[in-house]
Structure 1
Amino acid sequence: MIYYVYMLLNYESKRKVSYVGYTSNLKKRIILHNSSKGAKFTKGGKWMLIYKKKYLNKSDALKNEYKLKKNSLLRKKFKDKFIKKILLK
């Protein structure tokens, strides 16, 4: 089974809040985050996928999800890169 580590950005919030998670069904998980059935932190927000990476096993995905959650500089880099890309359109 393939697992994904992903990062979402709430582009409508003033603070540009991000969320990091892992899943085996990325499309379904993003739909849940944008509905009232997502994680408590993301329920009903306007979340956009800004980063994803595939892993062949759950253990590697969980380890890397944890690293990304704890690395605020890397998360900021992904957010800034995405926002800059959007502004250039």
Structure 2
Amino acid sequence: MASFTFVYVLRERDVPRPRTYVGWSTDVEARLMTHNSGKGAKTTRGRQWQLVYVERFRTFGDAMSREWHLKRDRKLRKMLAGG
């Protein structure tokens, strides 16, 4: 069975000006639960998140490259945040 790495974008829930967060995981649903439980990345703690975007990659290197680009694509992140 092939193993994939996913790059995802989260949007903060229930706030007037939501933040976005870009990350990677091999199990996006489990990672989202971790973020929402307060045990995820330091910048996601204390907030509730919803998944708004996912891409799948065969190699970890490709996923890391895409994550880097998405973190810098403010136009896309703003659109995904609803702004």
How does the TM-score come out when normalised to structure 1?
0.84
The ranges of structure 1 where at least 4 consecutive aligned residues each deviate by more than 4 angstroms after the TM superposition are none
Q: Does 1:65 align with 2:67?
A: yes
Which protein, 1 or 2, shows the higher relative CO under an 8 Å CA cutoff with sep ≥ 6?
A: 2
How does the TM-score come out when normalised to structure 2?
0.89
Inter-partner Cα distance in structure 2 for 1:65 and 1:42: 16
Residue 58 of structure 2 corresponds to 56
Percent of pairs identical after alignment?
35
How far apart are 1:47 and its partner, in Å?
0.2
How far apart are 1:14 and its partner, in Å?
2.5
Indicate if the aligned counterparts of 2:4 and 2:58 stay in contact, CA closer than 8 A: yes
Residue 21 of structure 1 corresponds to 23
Number of corresponding residues: 81
TM-align CA RMSD: 1.3
Q: Does 1:46 align with 2:44?
A: no
More helix by share: 1
